[in-house]
Chains A and B, each alone.
Chain A
Amino acid sequence: MIPRHLLIALVVLLVAALGMTIYAWNIRKTVAATPAASVDTRPLAPPVAGPTEMVALFVANDEDGSLRPRAAQIPMPSGRQQRAEELLRALMSIYLDKSSPHVLGAGAEVRSVFLVDPGVAVIDVNAAFADTHRSGVLVEELTVASLIHTVSANTPGILRVKILVDGKERDTLAGHADLSDFYDVTAVNQLATQLAP
């Protein structure tokens, strides 16, 4: 003979299990009915809050094949790595604008920047950045020089820079600019001088 209190507990548990099953079923139906949010591959806008700083962005210009410094007041976090990421996001927002002097493809994004001691920066761009990039020695070189010079000019101590695409090594950006090696920041700074208008 099952004691009465055990019988009551069993019934309560069964009712609870049944209730949770019905609840889970409803939740599942609701989720299935909700359309999946489309993936927005556009770069995130820099945070609007926080202290701002005046920085120099080096912007490529296809018209005369130059790299021009452009002062920008952007919110800058305190961490070195986050600062480097904000710099490149600000640069990307210029390149993704319709009136950009050096247009990058839709969906191009700098995923992250890693600063590795001693003096190594790794810039990781997404696949769309490289896949939609225009091909040509100068046009690819301008993009690479712009990214590296902007980071190195505003982040002291960087000696070499590696560019990855979707976290992986790639031979070239779009058939010309070599991405298989580390860029020497000193050499890129000299190139930036050559590319000055």
Chain B
Amino acid sequence: MRWTNRLSLGNRGALVILILLSVMILSGAGPEKRLSVYSVAANYSLPIVQRDDRDYVGLLEVLEPLGKVSARTDGTHWHLKYYREEDDFQVGKTRARIQGRDLELPAKFLVENNRGLVSVSSLSTLLPKILGGPVTLHEDSGRLFIGSVATHFTASLAGDNPPRLVFNFTAPVNPTVATEPGTLRMTFAREPVVSPASPTLTFGSKAIPSANYSEGNGTAVVTVHSTIPVMASFSNDGRTITIAQTSPGTPAASATSPAPSAPAPGTSAATPQPPAQPAGPAPQVWRRYFAVVDASHGGDDHGETLNSSLLEKDVTVALARGLRQELESRGITTLVLRDSDANLSLDQRAIFSNADHAAIYIALHAASNGHGVRIYTALLPYSEDDRGPFRSWTTAQHSALALSQSAASAVAAEFQKRQIPVRTLAAPLRPLNNMTGAAIAVEVAPQGADPSQLTAPDYQQLVTSAVATAIATAHDQLGAAP
């Protein structure tokens, strides 16, 4: 190269130092801070700027994807028009006039090049006033949820050898998947995925012992810890992600297409294309579960302590697995909501069953008190009426209550046939009242005085087969429900 030849030794040294410095500066720069906004209208990401040691974001940019908005600067005032409502911000002040009322912002309003900047912390108080709806801000992780848009998920182990970890989401997801020895990381940059009740999930498996949830810089990350090489596959229209052992000779992320950027050494990264499938089984199609079986309690919630070594949460999981087997053997597609010792809130249980539009939800409980089995339907609380197309959450069961009572009667009749003492009752037992479809709870007590009978395989099989037979009998009636 002729031009390099003309450089003196000193100049060459200076050039090398300059390049090295540039590399060092660029590599030392942290990733740009961003705010992810999730709404029914759009999911988008905005840059965050630092002013006065606080995080700021352009207010117009936040609102633009959500509706008709404009802004103008008038001296020390910045006027924002969202549809017909006009709001007034004072430059360098914390006081603003929103929807005709004064509002104190947590930090000064700033204007730069006619661009109105508000502190990120003020969005949780400011946006509900402007938009007229609920807003949830995860300030530390830069995530803003406008309305009820959160995507919830559950994780449960399926199969023993080798185990599979199945994540079910309430909406389709498309995370970036990266694997490295011992971990598989799913990064949700565009989806409003939120934390389960506990950020750490344990599964009691040596192969896949745990997973944990974290948030940061506008993304949610689920990290699965494993002692075997694992890969992720997508099914159910992107609502289900299955983490399973990599087939021998298969690259770690073979089920997913390569990511646009080259992965770091020792790491494979991929952007999955649902419904991409692992090699082997036939392609899965979207599957609506007919029955959702819920092993009540779990995690920190032990339920009743049945005896010194027996907890209700353990009995309900065993019953749920048995009931799934009985239902599946009768051709009824079944989802077990809790198949491990995981925390799962009552709202999450209801959201999953409702999102799946399951024909029937069956909650399982165990008790030391009394004898035989009790079948419960919802005792609806006193509540406001539904508003237009929106159902009241606390009485969502109202329109399906007759169907639930009919299902409860069918299950009770089956127990009577088998000469097991049974009662049908209403009960103030969540989440029965939050279910939009048929929903019952089955509380199993021992036939005698010894609670350890609840763990006896014969008794469990007697109970689960009775419930499954009744559900199979009522299949057409339940399936015909809207």
The yes or no answer to B381 lying at the interface (CB within 8 A) is yes
In the complex, which residues 169-197 of chain A have their Cβ closer than 8 Å to any Cβ of chain B?
172, 175-178, 180-185, 187-188, 190-191, 194-195
What is the CA–CA distance of A183 and B380 in the complex, to the nearest angstrom?
8
Stretch from A47-55, A83-91, A138-146 at the B interface: A138-146
* A135-B303, A137-B429 known; A183-B367 Cβ under 8 A: no
* A160-B382, A181-B383, A184-B381 known; A62-B429 Cβ under 8 A: no
**Which size bracket describes the interface of A in this complex?**
20 to 34
What is the CA–CA distance of A57 and B262 in the complex, to the nearest angstrom?
75
* A65-B370, A181-B394 known; A136-B304 Cβ under 8 A: yes
Q: Across the interface, do A187 and B426 meet the contact criterion of CB distance under 8 Å?
A: yes
Q: Across the interface, do B381 and A136 meet the contact criterion of CB distance under 8 Å?
A: no
The yes or no answer to A68 lying at the interface (CB within 8 A) is no
Residues of B within 8 A of A188 (CB): 379
Residues of A within 8 A of B368 (CB): 136
What is the CA–CA distance of A182 and B365 in the complex, to the nearest angstrom?
24
CB-CB nearest in chain B for A177: B428
* A135-B312, A137-B427, A194-B425 known; A175-B369 Cβ under 8 A: no
Q: Across the interface, do B367 and A191 meet the contact criterion of CB distance under 8 Å?
A: no
Q: Across the interface, do A178 and B382 meet the contact criterion of CB distance under 8 Å?
A: no
Q: Which of B297, B312, B430 contacts A178 (CB 8 A)?
A: B430
Q: Across the interface, do B380 and A187 meet the contact criterion of CB distance under 8 Å?
A: yes
Q: Across the interface, do A139 and B301 meet the contact criterion of CB distance under 8 Å?
A: no
Q: Across the interface, do A191 and B304 meet the contact criterion of CB distance under 8 Å?
A: no
In the complex, which residues 76-123 of chain A have their Cβ closer than 8 Å to any Cβ of chain B?
none
What is the CA–CA distance of A197 and B305 in the complex, to the nearest angstrom?
28
What is the CA–CA distance of A144 and B443 in the complex, to the nearest angstrom?
18
What is the CA–CA distance of A191 and B423 in the complex, to the nearest angstrom?
13
Q: Across the interface, do A136 and B443 meet the contact criterion of CB distance under 8 Å?
A: yes
What is the CA–CA distance of A181 and B312 in the complex, to the nearest angstrom?
25
The yes or no answer to A159 lying at the interface (CB within 8 A) is yes
**Which size bracket describes the interface of B in this complex?**
20 to 34
Q: Across the interface, do A194 and B428 meet the contact criterion of CB distance under 8 Å?
A: no
What is the CA–CA distance of A190 and B401 in the complex, to the nearest angstrom?
15
What is the CA–CA distance of A184 and B297 in the complex, to the nearest angstrom?
26
What is the CA–CA distance of A178 and B425 in the complex, to the nearest angstrom?
15
Q: Which of B304, B365, B426 contacts A194 (CB 8 A)?
A: B426
Residues of B within 8 A of A175 (CB): 297, 301, 303-304
Q: Across the interface, do A141 and B428 meet the contact criterion of CB distance under 8 Å?
A: yes
CB distance from B295 to the nearest CB of A (A): 14
In the complex, which residues 403-451 of chain B have their Cβ closer than 8 Å to any Cβ of chain A?
423, 425-430, 433, 441, 443
- Among A134, A178, A182, A194, chain B packs the most CB atoms within 10 A around the CB of A178
Residues of A within 8 A of B427 (CB): 137-138, 141, 176-177
Interface residues of B, Cβ cutoff 8 Å to A: 297, 301, 303-305, 312, 365, 367-370, 374, 376, 379-383, 394, 423, 425-430, 433, 441, 443
Q: List 20 additional A-B contacts (Cβ < 8 Å) besides A65-B423, A175-B303, A187-B382.
A: A65-B374, A134-B369, A135-B304, A136-B365, A137-B367, A137-B374, A137-B427, A137-B441, A139-B369, A141-B429, A159-B382, A175-B297, A175-B304, A176-B427, A177-B427, A180-B430, A184-B380, A187-B381, A187-B426, A188-B379
Interface residues of A, Cβ cutoff 8 Å to B: 62, 65, 134-139, 141, 144, 159-160, 172, 175-178, 180-185, 187-188, 190-191, 194-195
The 9 closest A-B pairs by CB, nearest first: A181-B381, A135-B304, A184-B382, A160-B382, A136-B367, A182-B382, A178-B428, A137-B443, A178-B430
